[in-house]
Structure 1
Amino acid sequence: MHDHENSERLASYADVLASELPDSWTSTYIPPEHKDDLAELVDRIWDLDLVAESLAHHPLQQASVLTRADGARLAVLHRHDERDGFLIAAVAPRDLPDEAYRDIHEPNGIALTDDPFLGAEQVAGDLLARYDIALTQARHNAAQGVQPSQADRVVLTWQPDGGLAASPVGEKAGAVLATNGFVRDSAGVYRLNGDDIVTQARAVRDAGRQLDALGIGTALQHPSGGIAPAATPAVAAAPAVHASIARTR
């Protein structure tokens, strides 16, 4: 049975916590009936220590998610060890590729006092600093392996998962890429997945034509730069080998 009192306590605690953290944060409560949202949150929690152990023994029934203006997220959870207070964990961004998390030390969560004002001091003095470092590293990694574009040429770089990526991209070129299915991630990289090769090829062809009309060339390259630039790629061929890289958190 859903414990309404505990739900209100969690939501209220998270609201106060969000208002006390540095920068601008909002708080959103996820109730037990939103099972898909809770499952997605568990999959994104960036922890291999205290919070991961708690979730291994106690499936997530509810949570509050704190979101910063830049998209960073923190999850506030109930403790289940007979102690007062809550747990808080960093949440990995949704829009970065799996390889972005390689070789990054997890910003493991912490236990919080039952007082949200003291809890905010704990978060600001510990978890937030480690989380921001990990986010910076992940976003940097996401931009690696992408041949840089120029003002007059967008370079589309093959990714290990068969997708394509382009960065940096000007406003006009970015608008064209977005119109043709590319998604801008939190690192500023425009990405097009390779799940459907035919759709991918059409998107690259159409984007190439539209960019060409703006006087912007396009090129297809591997991260090593081994493929010679092409003025406008007519068809995007899938790379010979797709390497599946699992994100470790």
Structure 2
Amino acid sequence: MTSPRTDLSAFAAGLADRLPGTCSSEYQRHAQYADQFPRTEQLWDAGHVDYIVSQYVLTHDAVLHGPANQRLYVTDRPLYPHHFVVAPLAPDGPHIKPHHFDAVEEPNGIAVPEDPARAAAHVARRVLPRYEQALQELLDNTVAQPDPPHRPGPPQVDQVLTLTLYSDGALRAVRERAGRCPHDAVRPRIPVPPAPTSVPPAHRVRGQRSRPSHPRRCPAAHGQGHRREPTPLGNYHQRCPSAGVTEDRTNDQPHALIPLPHLESPSATLAPPCR
């Protein structure tokens, strides 16, 4: 709490007498800290005067009432015993609403010396022009837009996509229905393409068509129509027992017949290869 100065009332009266137009001074002493709020909440300042009233306990202040609904707030400047602060107060009235202050720059206050004549010169040159301009813009807004603008509500959506960025740089996308808890959402799955049904080109021999994977038949050994399990492609030998020959499928080369060494008769008729 700052120690109250006894000359604030005299300074405010002397400042009001020296300002342009007809001004009057209203001095008020605060019995408790909350008594300063009704006036400080009307302060039209975004600079150091607003900082002073929000950080210090002020035991008294004064309001100067001027022409054209102008009001100036006067109080001590803490830590500076030879200075006061003067700042504009925002106008009040039933036709002035919060949206009228949009896009209107605060006129802000200044620090002035304790001499009323010098202080009046600073206020007339630096505060009053900005104050008059801000008041005119505010009144123009009351005429142009007396009621707050109507803004429609946000559109309703069926689904919400939530993106989560982790510390390692990974990004996770979770899609949930509107109105549901994000923790109940199911993580979207990436569709897996179906496996190829034909033999890849790497297993084909140039000039040869790809072989379908149907069961092979050996009519001499098992009779017509008997089906065997399909044999995978690769390096293998398929043997037809009744004919005594082996169909060499090494490197998938067709129709290479190799006679076996245990044939009983060299004149044995070779059966066609198993297909």
Aligned length: 151
Matched residues in 2 for 1:82 and 1:120: separation?
19
**Structure 1 stretch 75-84 or stretch 44-53: which is displaced more?**
75-84
Is the CA contact 1:107–1:127 (under 8 Å) kept in the aligned structure 2? Answer: yes
Is the CA contact 2:32–2:59 (under 8 Å) kept in the aligned structure 1? Answer: no
Note if 1:109 corresponds to 2:112: no
Q: Which has the higher helix share?
A: 1
Identity of aligned residues (%): 29
- The offset of 1:55, in angstroms, is 1.6
Matched residues in 2 for 1:56 and 1:36: separation?
12
Matched residues in 1 for 2:74 and 2:120: separation?
12
Aligned to 2:177: none
Calculate the TM-score normalised by the size of structure 1.
0.55
Aligned to 1:206: none
Consecutive unaligned residues in structure 1, runs of 5 or more: 147-158, 161-222, 225-239, 242-249
Structure with higher Rg: it is 2
Deviations 1:80-134 (A, max 9, x none): 1335110000000111211111011111100001111000000001101101100
Aligned runs of 1:43-192 on 2, under 5 Å?
A: 43-95=41-93, 96-146=96-146, 159-160=147-148
- The offset of 1:69, in angstroms, is 3.3
- The offset of 1:71, in angstroms, is 2.0
Q: Of the two structures, which has the highest relative contact order with CA contacts closer than 8 Å and spacing of 6 or more?
A: 1
Is the CA contact 1:30–1:38 (under 8 Å) kept in the aligned structure 2? Answer: no
CA RMSD of aligned residues (A): 2.5
Aligned runs of 1:13-28 on 2, under 5 Å?
A: 13-28=11-26
Consecutive unaligned residues in structure 2, runs of 5 or more: 154-275
Aligned-partner SS, 1:87: strand
Aligned partner of 2:60: which letter? Q
Aligned partner of 1:65: which letter? V
Aligned-partner SS, 2:63: strand
- The offset of 1:36, in angstroms, is 6.4
Calculate the TM-score normalised by the size of structure 2.
0.50
Q: Residue 2 and residue 85 in structure 1: after superposition, are their counterparts in 2 closer, same or farther (change >3 A)? A: closer
Is the CA contact 1:31–1:63 (under 8 Å) kept in the aligned structure 2? Answer: yes
Matched residues in 2 for 1:117 and 1:138: separation?
30
Matched residues in 1 for 2:83 and 2:132: separation?
24
Note if 1:40 corresponds to 2:58: no
